[in-house]
């Protein structure tokens, strides 16, 4: 697996924990150091959060990430987009990314149509933009303020942060100068990690089914 990390303060977190727990090999590509690697040879690509917007295509790094995910899509390499990564994936699939009328900062419950793939949460969120559902994709989850997940073939984009821990998001809050209620008892933290593992397991199962269809 190729993980695209875009900020030092936005590491793979629970995603890396899940990969380690499942014995799956992965490379973390630091986009500010590594440029844009090729996705060929990887089972799937995950693109993480950023303090930039997917709308900032005038910024070379944003344009490059969109091109990378577009090439992965063209080559039938599954993409998992998380928050900014989900917005870039949506844009690469032809959807609009726009300023959200209400930023979603902190813990949020979501309405889900498929709780096996997208558990209802609560999830940690930290975003000021939102994506529209790409043409041909199926919206899977939402809040009153933003679409939260879509699926198209093997590709999955989510607006929340299944990979993030409370400590990671506290760092974003400090950087943004925003006061947000991120407090969570141990049982909520454990539940969030378990939900993230369910989401990642379900995504992996979808990619396995997609691989079988390609091979048949």
Point out the residues that are catalytic: 83, 161, 163
Cα→Cα distances 214→7, 89, 135, 191, Å: 34, 21, 22, 35
As a whole number of angstroms, the distance between CA 130 and CA 146 comes to 6
DSSP letter at 177 equals: T
């Amino acid at each position: 697996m190729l993980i695209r990390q875009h900020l030092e303060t936005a590491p793979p977190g629970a995603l890396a924990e899940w990969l380690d727990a499942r014995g799956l090999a992965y490379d973390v590509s630091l986009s500010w150091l590594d440029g844009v690697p090729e996705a060929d040879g990887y089972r799937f690509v995950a693109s993480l959060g950023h303090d930039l917007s997917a709308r900032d295509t005038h910024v070379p790094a944003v344009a490059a990430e969109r091109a990378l995910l577009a090439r992965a899509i063209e080559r039938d390499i599954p993409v998992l987009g998380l928050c900014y990564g989900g917005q870039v994936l949506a844009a690469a699939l032809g959807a609009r990314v726009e300023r959200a009328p209400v930023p979603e900062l902190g813990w949020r419950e979501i309405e889900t149509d498929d709780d096996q793939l997208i558990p209802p949460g609560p999830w940690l969120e930290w975003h000021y933009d939102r994506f529209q559902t790409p043409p041909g994709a199926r919206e899977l989850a939402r809040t009153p303020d933003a679409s939260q997940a879509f699926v198209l073939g093997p590709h999955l984009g989510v607006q929340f942060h299944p990979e993030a821990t409370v400590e990671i998001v506290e760092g974003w809050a400090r950087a943004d100068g925003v006061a947000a209620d991120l407090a969570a008892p141990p049982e909520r933290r454990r539940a969030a990690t378990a939900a993230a593992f369910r989401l990642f397991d379900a995504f992996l199962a979808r990619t396995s089914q997609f691989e079988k269809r390609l091979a048949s």
